[in-house]
Amino acid sequence: MECDKCDRDAVMHAGYSGAHLCENHFCASVEKRVRGRIRKDSLVPRDATPEDPEHWVIGLSGGKDSVVLTHILDETFGKDPRIEMMALTIHEGIEGYRDESVDACVELAADLQMRHELVTYEEEFGVRMDDVAREDPENMAPCAYCGVFRRDLLENYAEEFGADKLLTGHNLDDEAETALMNVLEGDVKQMAKHFDASLGPFDERNPTDDFVPRAKPLRDIPEKEVALYAHLKDLPAHITECPHASEAFRGEIQELMLDLEDRHPGTRHSIMSGYEEVAEMAADRYRGGDDDVDLNDCERCGSKTARDVCRKCRLLESIRAV
Ligand code: SF4
Ligand code: ZN
C-alpha cells in the first residue's frame, strides 16, 4: 500500500481516519497532533519570556509513552528560551523491570542534554514494591499502593523543582479507558476531578493551588501509534510489562475498548470528545460546592490531605507494621 501523501510504502493504516502513511508522513502526523494538543490545551502561557520562563517537569518512566513525549517536547521546545524542561523518574523497587527502564531514561536524558532526576521509593519511604507486593498488608492489588506512592513523589518533587506544570505520557487509549471506567463506575465526581486535573484547555480548568497542574500532550495519539513512533525513531524505550501489573478492571476495559475500536473505528476519539464535555460540566457543578473540602497538611509528612494523616502515610504505617 502506498502513502496517501507520497509514493513511498505506507508503514501504517489508521482505521479511524482511513489514512495510509509512510514513515516520514506518519512521524510528522504524530508530531503535528501533539503540537496541536499543546496549543489547544494552551500549555504555553502568553506571558512566558526568556527572563521569566515556564518550568515543565516531565514524568519519565522509560516506557514508550514518556520517552516519545520527552523526545517530541525536546524537538519542539528544546531551543525555546521561554520553556525550561527537566525529566523526573521514579524507581519503585521492582527487580529486573525498573532497573532497565531507568537505563532508558538516563540514555535519553543524556542524548537530549536534559536535566534528569531519579527518586526511589526505597530512599524516600524505605520500601520496595517487590516487598510490598509480597507482604500486602492491606490485601489490595500492588498498583493500589504503587499509585499512591508515585503520585505523592511526582507531586512533591514537581513542586520542589519549581514546576509550573507536570507533563505525563498518557495516550489516547489510557485516557479513553479512564473515561469509560469513570462512566461505568458512575463516578461523576471523579470525572470532575479528571477534568480539572488534566483535561481541557488550561485556562478553562480550575487546578487548585494545592497541586502542580498536569498536562497530557499525547492524549490524542493511540497507543499503537506511540509504540510505532518510538520504534521508527529508534528511541531508547523499555517495553516489558511490570510483573505486578494487576489492575483487573482496567484490563477488562482495555480488551473491551480494543474490540470496540476494531469493529467501530473511531470509538476512542468519540468517547473522549463526549466525555470531555460532560466532565467539564461535572467540574463546573462541583466547583466551590459542599464537596470541595479544604485540604490540610498531613501530620506526618506535610502532603495535602482531607484527613489528619494522608493515605500514603497510612499505607506506609501498615507496611512497616508487617
Ligand atoms: Fe506500580 Fe502497578 Fe505500575 Fe507496576 S504496574 S509500576 S505495581 S502501578
Ligand atoms: Zn502523609
Domain contains 33: no
Quick one: which atom of ligand 1 is closest to the CA of 147? 8
Same domain, 184 and 152: yes
Show the 3-state SS of the chain: CECCCCCCECCEECCCCCCEECHHHHHHHHHHHHHHHHHHCCCCCCCCCCCCCEEEEEECCCCHHHHHHHHHHHHHHCCCCCEEEEEEEEECCCCCCHHHHHHHHHHHHHHHCCEEEEEEHHHHHCCCHHHHHHHCCCCCCHHHHHHHHHHHHHHHHHHHCCCCEEECCCCHHHHHHHHHHHHHCCCHHHHHHHHHHHCCCHHHCCCCCCCCCEECCCCCCCHHHHHHHHHHCCCCCCCCCCCCCCCHHHHHHHHHHHHHHHHCCCHHHHHHHHHHHHHHHHHHHHCCCCCCCCCEECCCCCCEECCCCCHHHHHHHHHHCC
Ligand 1: residue of 66, 91, 95, 146 to mutate (most ligand atoms within 8 A of CB) is 146
**Is the domain of 284 the same as that of 296?**
no
Say if residue 234 is in the same domain as residue 314.
no
pLDDT score at 43 = 94
CATH number at residue 161: 3.40.50.620
- Does 281 lie in the same domain as 296? no
- Ligand found nearest the CA of 300: 2
Q: Please report the pLDDT score of residue 208 as a whole number.
A: 74
Q: Is 79 part of a structural domain of the chain?
A: yes
Q: Looking at the domain assignment, is residue 74 inside a domain?
A: yes
Structural domain containing residue 126: 47-291
Whether 98 and 206 map to the same domain: the answer is yes
- Identify whether 4 is part of a domain: no
Predicted pLDDT of residue 210: 78
User: 22 among the known binding-site residues?
Assistant: yes
CB 142 less than 6 A from any atom of ligand 1:
yes
Residue 12 domain-assigned (yes or no): no
Kindly identify the ligand whose nearest atom is closest to the C-alpha of 307. 2
- 314: in domain: yes
Ligand 1 atom closest to residue 133's alpha carbon, by position in its atom list:
7
User: Do both 101 and 168 map to the same domain?
Assistant: yes
Same domain, 221 and 302: no
Please list all protein residues whose beta carbon sits less than 5 angstroms from ligand 2, which is an ion.
298, 300-301, 303, 310, 313
For residue 245, give the ligand 1 atom closest to its CA.
5
Q: Residue 118: inside a domain, yes or no?
A: yes
- Could you tell me if 219 and 96 lie in one domain? yes
Dist. CA 172 → ligand 2 center (Å): 32
Question: Residue 295 C-alpha to ligand 2 middle, in angstroms?
Answer: 12
Q: Would the annotation count 61 as a binding residue?
A: yes
Inside any domain, residue 63: yes
pLDDT of residue 247: 75
Along the 322 residues of the chain, how does pLDDT read in single tens digits?
A: 999 999 999 999 999 999 999 999 999 999 999 999 999 999 999 999 999 999 999 999 999 999 999 999 999 999 999 999 999 999 999 988 888 899 999 999 999 999 999 999 999 999 999 999 999 999 999 999 999 999 999 999 999 999 999 999 999 999 999 999 999 999 999 999 999 889 988 888 877 777 899 999 999 999 999 999 999 999 999 878 899 987 778 889 999 999 999 999 999 999 999 999 999 999 999 887 766 667 889 999 988 888 999 999 999 999 999 8
Asked whether residue 146 is marked as a ligand-binding residue, the answer is no
Whether residue 196 is found in the same domain as residue 266: yes
Give yes or no: residues 194 and 300 share one domain. no
Task: Provide the number of structural domains found in the chain.
Answer: 2
Residues 216 and 299 in one domain: no
Q: In testing the pocket of ligand 1, which one of 130, 238, 239, 242 has its CB within 8 Å of the most ligand atoms? A: 242
Q: Do 321 and 216 fall within a single domain?
A: no
